[in-house]
Structure 1
Amino acid sequence: MSSDVTNPCALVLFGSTGDLTRRKIMPALYSLAKQKLLPPAFAIIAFARRDKDDATYREDVRAAIREFAPSLQPEGPEWEAFAQNIFYLRSTLDDSEGYHRLANLLDTLDQERQLGGNRLFYLATPPENFLEIIDHLGRAGLNRQKTPQSWTRIVVEKPFGYDLASARQLNAELRARFREEQIYRIDHYLGKEAVQNILVLRFANHIFEPLFNKNYIDHVQIIVAETIGVEGRGNYFDKSGITRDIIQNHALQVLTLVAMEPPISLHADAIRDEKVKTLRSLRPFSQEDVAQRTVRGQYGPGKLVIDGKEVEVPGYREEEGVDPKSTTETFAAIHFALENWRWAGVPFYVLAGKRLPKRVTEVQIQFKAVPDVLFARTAAEGLRPNRLVIRIQPDEGAFFEVCSKVPGPGLKIQTVQMDFKYGSAFNVPVHDAYERLLLDAIRGDASLFARGDEVEAAWEVVTPILEAWEHLTCPVFPNYPAGTWGPKAAADLLREGQVWRMPQ
């Protein structure tokens, strides 16, 4: 498997007229091209059913970049050079003849552009189309390497399955057509700089790794907060919920990086081996555990500050595409427990929700409090446990809270922060996660992509929670107003003396 980014290739994009392609994938590809990071010989083939040709689709791509990434300025020679690499093939996803036309087009581009037979298929479609596309690629022989020296890879977007059974089925269908090393299951959170930096903070700094265990850590909080509602995705979200949409993938991926053992190397499988071990160390949920260690919520009408103005927003059940009697959760807080030597007895709390006061994703690692013997007779109200906070979005970075004496007579203690932000600490831009992940897929570096057993291990943890909720009495929804930090019952998950430290 080559990691040489200069290897030529063709990228075939299914879902090429969809929202993900317009907002993320095409801007990311154009940004990579402007940075001279794409191979000199490169082609993009958009596979879609709408009545378009190369020229009209290229203008659609230009319009999308102007709308969602205007700073990239799709004009002039750079744009023209990029646009000439874009081709449009009209076909429905269920038309076998369309896949044979795709094979012929790929062969033609191989000859005209010396692409070497290297192919990357990207499934940016709704998940209900995955199996159909995979099957047709196999029937057309597009799953096979063109030559012994060439490569063929497939990128599959989330959600990867709806539960454990569907994830296993999707894995089985993929493996029937592709080898595991050809499959790249994408989770854009893993492309974020702050997520990748978790490994560096832990394993490249001797002040942290020896402390990441039950002897020094009191608990860990992972918070994924969104201010938005369903944003026109009511039909999808009402079948999914926040647990499937955020916790099963994004949050558990972050949890594994915080809790995993040091890998033997930075090779993709070495890292993923340790992540799988971590997932398998999570204590399984019985129905009684679910009742005691989870809280679910659904937002009602409320007020949010958007662009500096307080705005009234509707409740979830009033959103477009949502069942007026829906019991789908828009908020979930879960107490995870790791049953291994390093973390036994340390709670990992995960909170995710929509219509919360602030858009932020961060990991809070709270250390145990120091014994109060030394400061028991002083006015030490400011004496608080140390915290390492890793902010994933926005304002990616990290800060470490320590106690310090306040200048002046007497002994007064206050918590201060030692921090850095990617935007100011380094003289380089912070790129979108899709840029990194697309580049890694072209290079053949699977470190930031989920392996099949990793996806199934995550579903093994989450599926019992979802099944138990179907049998447990549902809370009276809505149970938190939009613009608040969720239902009050979430506080009951934490142990005595622990509190949610909501991002400011």
Structure 2
Amino acid sequence: MRLTSPVSVAQVKVLRCIPAIEKKDTLLGQYVAAGDKPGYLDDDTVPKGSVCPTFAALTLFINNPRWEGVPFIMKAGKALNEAKVEVRVQYKDVTPGIFSDIPRNELVLRIQPDEAIYMKMNAKTPGLLTRAIPIELDLSYKRRFERAKIPEAYESLILDAFKGDHSNFVRDDELDVAWEIFTPILHWIDGKDGEAPKPEPYPYGSRGPEKLDEFINQYGFKRSNTG
């Protein structure tokens, strides 16, 4: 008998509130040569003129009372300037007061590399100055748990499989609902509904296509250079 986790039930419930991703909420890219690094089409194994994307940014929405109108922006790509997996929750601008031009507060969950949870927030500079500076409340696992063995993600999952623990695996109904969200946009990318879209070029080692900031900003996100 397989037990049903309340967390899994809640995940499926949320997924059912997410409509299929639309074309207007999607940005595709394909990396090109930069410096001594070859582009995607320079690979002999890639068909000439391929429009296969190597980068994608998309936005989805959860149509329920709690998350109505909140954009969830997802980005993934190859040959970018850095390799990392993180979740970044950006809060709205603070109410104007004695401080001005301060960055937004953010909660960041870094999955890899170097697992960490940190809160980016603004604090008044100590002393007589009336100025706010961004600081971090940081829990970096390697620094906090120096003597602990922190397994890789797949090491934990393999151990769970041996133990018969399904709690960290995707249920079949959850997988079905997730595919309903992504299948229409994947068919569009594959050209099953007509001509496949041509991805935007971006240099090897960059953040992504030139239109990335414009794409993200339209949903109200403000990029900060403070990490």
- Residue identity matched to 1:300: V
- Corresponding position of 2:144: 425
In 1, the alpha carbon distance for the partners of 2:6 and 2:29 equals 37
Report the secondary structure of 2:53's partner residue.
Answer: coil
State how far apart, in whole Å, the 1-side matches of 2:152 and 2:221 are: 35
In structure 1, give the amino acid aligned to 2:33.
Answer: P
Aligned-pair distance for 1:359? 0.8
* 2:29 pairs with one of 277, 282, 297: 297
* Change over 3 Å in CA distance of 1:301–1:413 after alignment to 2: same
Structure 2 residue 212 is the aligned partner of structure 1 residue 490: yes
The yes-or-no answer on 1:499 pairing with 2:219 is: no
Aligned residues: 222
Structure 2 residue 54 is matched with structure 1 residue 330: yes
Whichever of the two has the greater Rg, that structure is: 1
Measured on the aligned residues, the alpha-carbon RMSD in Å equals 2.1
Aligned to 1:132: none
Work out the CA distance in 1 between the residues paired with 2:186 and 2:119.
35
The one-letter code matched in structure 1 to 2:91 is F
Q: Are 2:118 and 2:136, in contact at CA under 8 Å, matched by a contact in 1? A: yes
C-alpha distance in 2 between matches for 1:328 and 1:503? 33
Pick the aligned partner of 2:114 from 395, 398, 410. Answer: 395
Structure 1 CA distance, aligned partners of 2:70 and 2:32? Answer: 33
CA contact (8 A) 1:398 1:420 kept: yes
Structure 1 residues 473 and 384 mapped into 2: Cα distance closer, same or farther (>3 Å)? same
- Structure 2 CA distance for partners of 1:280 and 1:320, relative to 1, 3 Å: farther
- How do 1:91-490 residues align onto structure 2 when only pairs under 5 Å count? 181=2, 269-285=5-21, 289-290=22-23, 292-303=24-35, 312-372=36-96, 374-375=97-98, 378=99, 380-381=100-101, 383-426=102-145, 427-469=147-189, 470=191, 471=194, 474-475=197-198, 479-490=201-212
Contact 2:28 2:200 in 1 (8 A): no
Q: 1:436 to 1:330 in 2, by over 3 A?
A: same
Structure 2 length as normaliser, TM-score? Answer: 0.89
Q: CA–CA distance in 2 between the matches of 1:478 and 1:324?
A: 16
- Structure 1 counterpart of 2:144, one-letter code: A
Runs (5+) with no aligned partner, structure 2: none
Question: Deviations along 1:39-80, whole A, 9 cap, x unmatched?
Answer: xxxxxxxxxxxxxxxxxxxxxxxxxxxxxxxxxxxxxxxxxx
- Flag the 1:503–1:314 CA change in 2: closer, same or farther, 3 A: farther
Q: Distance in 1 between matches of 2:225 and 2:43?
A: 26
Q: Which residue of structure 2 lines up, in the alignment, with residue 141 of structure 1?
A: none
SS at match of 1:313: coil
Q: Distance in 2 between matches of 1:491 and 1:316?
A: 22
Partners of 2:88 and 2:108 within 8 A in 1: yes
Which residue pairs with 1:195 in the alignment?
Answer: none
Tell me the distance in 1 between the aligned counterparts of 2:12 and 2:26.
Answer: 23
User: Percentage identity across aligned positions?
Assistant: 34
1:395-428 Cα distance to aligned partner (Å, 9 max, x none): 1111101111112333011110010111121231
Q: Matches of 1:467 and 1:340 in 2, distance apart?
A: 26
Deviations 1:71-128 (A, max 9, x none): xxxxxxxxxxxxxxxxxxxxxxxxxxxxxxxxxxxxxxxxxxxxxxxxxxxxxxxxxx
The residue type paired with residue 34 of structure 2 is G
Separation in structure 2 between the aligned mates of residue 298 and residue 403 of structure 1, nearest angstrom: 37
- Separation in structure 2 between the aligned mates of residue 302 and residue 314 of structure 1, nearest angstrom: 7
- Bigger RCO of structures 1 and 2 (CA < 8 A, at least 6 apart): 2
Structure 2 residue aligned with 1:202: none
- What residue is the counterpart of 1:4 in the other structure? none
Alpha-carbon separation, structure 1, partners of 2:152 and 2:19: 34
Q: Residue deviations 1:24-44, cap 9 Å, x none? A: xxxxxxxxxxxxxxxxxxxxx
What amino acid does structure 2 have at the position aligned with 1:338? I
Q: Which runs of 5+ in 1 are unaligned?
A: 2-180, 182-266, 304-311
One-letter identity of the residue aligned with 2:185: I
User: 2: distance between equivalents of 1:497 and 1:274?
Assistant: 27
Distance 1:454 1:464, change over 3 A: same
Amino acid at match of 2:82: K
Partners of 2:45 and 2:225 in 1: CA distance: 30
Aligned partners of 2:138, 2:43: CA distance in 1, in Å?
A: 39
Is the 2:71–2:219 Cα contact (8 Å) retained in structure 1? no
Task: Please state how far the C-alpha of 1:502 moved relative to its aligned partner.
Answer: 7.4
SS of the residue 2:16 aligns to: helix
Shift of 1:448: 0.7
Counterpart-to-counterpart distance in 2, 1:268 and 1:322: 44
